Amino acid sequence: MKPAPFDYIALNSIEEITSALNEYGDDAKILAGGQSLVPAMNFRLLQPTMLLDINNVSKLDYVKLNGDKTLKIGALTRQSTIEKDEIIKEKFPLLHETMPQVAHSQIRNRGTIGGNLAHADPASELPAVCIAMGAKLKLISKEGERIIPSSEFFQGMFFTSLEPNEILAEIQIPIPTEHSGFSFMEFSRRRGDYALMGVAAVVVLDKNNNCTEAKLVYLNAGDGQVDAKKAASVLGGEKSSPDLFIEAGRIASEEEIDPFGNVHASTSYQRHLANILTQRALKIAFERAAKKEQNHD
């Protein structure tokens, strides 16, 4: 239960990080909040020989609104900072409401959004929420930077499109349109534990409350986040109705997700949860979108 020996350097700038990644390559690991990396090292599941501590790189720690279009969050921003941020609370309620479901307060005080996404745990809430919100991710290496959709970033269990010499630097989230509604629902054995199943739902309605866009993204539902496009597509052009939500829940839970099951939940139980959570989440998302539509008129 103690980590294997390693060497350690604390870095002070993005340039220092990218240079160090070039120099040490695969032997090195970035240390952000350490809330996933250190447990894995304590179990000796991971034995990096060099840790690159990025906690001093304050240039990666910010939440700012860019014009009125995009929210930019630095990768090193602590989960607890995001949870308490007023702009996020007001304009990005999906992210705000999901945050307390990620681990416990002590973990969120250290854990960073970038570390959470880079870890790419299929059971993690934030990757699913990023995909549902259409977030883009900025990756930086010595060669330059690139910005990719979060749906391309996540490649499967603990697997992302980050190159060994790249860091995740920024999360960019478009402001939800005025006619959108959302809901995040998960079921876990105890608050703060990884969920047995969860879903992030986003819908956009037109003036007549017909659905014009929908997203349903599941966590702990397969080898990565599951973007259930078929279930979402049956919502297109439709109004809120229990039958519609039952149909969407059925398609997502029977045809699209591919849960593995674990000691706490069989696959059939996970599918059952997905079905029910979908119906509940869609009901709320539609209600919220419809309310906004009224307020607006």
- Point out which residues bind another protein (CB under 8 A): 1-8, 10, 31, 34-35, 38-39, 42-43, 51, 53, 55, 80, 100, 103-107, 109-110, 190-192
Nearest to residue 204, comparing CAs of 227, 250, 235, 174? 235
- For residue 29, state whether it binds ligand FAD (rule: CB under 6 A): yes
Give a three-class secondary structure readout of 227-246: ECHHHHHCCCCCCCCHHHHH
Residue 168 interacting partner from ligand FAD, another protein, none (CB closer than 5 to 8 Å by kind): ligand FAD
- For residue 122, state whether it binds ligand FAD (rule: CB under 6 A): no
| Minimum distance from residue 117 beta carbon to another protein (Å) | 18
Q: Considering only residues 48-107, where is the footprint of ligand FAD by CB under 6 A?
A: 75, 102-103, 107
Q: Which of 35, 172, 225, 278 binds ligand FAD (CB under 6 A)?
A: 35
Q: Please identify, among the stretches 113-121, 143-151, 255-263, 269-277, the one whose residues bind ligand FAD according to the rule CB under 6 A.
A: 113-121
| Minimum distance from residue 250 beta carbon to ligand FAD (Å) | 27
Half-sphere exposure of 146 (CA within 13 A, CB side): 13
Residue 118 interacting partner from ligand FAD, another protein, none (CB closer than 5 to 8 Å by kind): ligand FAD
- For residue 130, state whether it binds ligand FAD (rule: CB under 6 A): no
- C-alpha–C-alpha distance, residues 46 and 203, integer Å: 40
- For residue 216, state whether it binds ligand FAD (rule: CB under 6 A): no
- C-alpha–C-alpha distance, residues 36 and 114, integer Å: 12
Q: Under 8 Å CB-to-CB from 136, ≥6 apart: which residues? A: 147, 148, 149, 150, 171, 172, 173
- C-alpha–C-alpha distance, residues 132 and 216, integer Å: 7
Residue 43 interacting partner from ligand FAD, another protein, none (CB closer than 5 to 8 Å by kind): another protein
Cβ proximity to ligand FAD, 121 vs 238, nearer residue: 121
| Minimum distance from residue 2 beta carbon to another protein (Å) | 7
Using CA atoms, how far residue 214 sits from 124, 264, 284, in Å, is 21, 30, 13
Cβ distance 289 to 296 under 8 Å? no
Q: How many CB atoms lie within 10 A of CB 53?
A: 16
253 residue type, one letter: S
- For residue 225, state whether it binds ligand FAD (rule: CB under 6 A): no
| Minimum distance from residue 102 beta carbon to ligand FAD (Å) | 4
Q: Considering only residues 190-209, where is the footprint of ligand FAD by CB under 6 A?
A: 193-194
- C-alpha–C-alpha distance, residues 1 and 19, integer Å: 32
DSSP state for residue 265 in the 8-state scheme: B
- C-alpha–C-alpha distance, residues 256 and 197, integer Å: 14
- For residue 224, state whether it binds ligand FAD (rule: CB under 6 A): no
- C-alpha–C-alpha distance, residues 139 and 153, integer Å: 10
- For residue 288, state whether it binds ligand FAD (rule: CB under 6 A): no
Q: Which of 73, 99, 167, 281 binds ligand FAD (CB under 6 A)?
A: 167
| Minimum distance from residue 150 beta carbon to another protein (Å) | 25
Q: Where does this chain bind ligand FAD (CB under 6 A)?
A: 29-37, 39, 75, 102-103, 107, 111-112, 114-116, 118-119, 124-126, 162, 167-168, 193-194
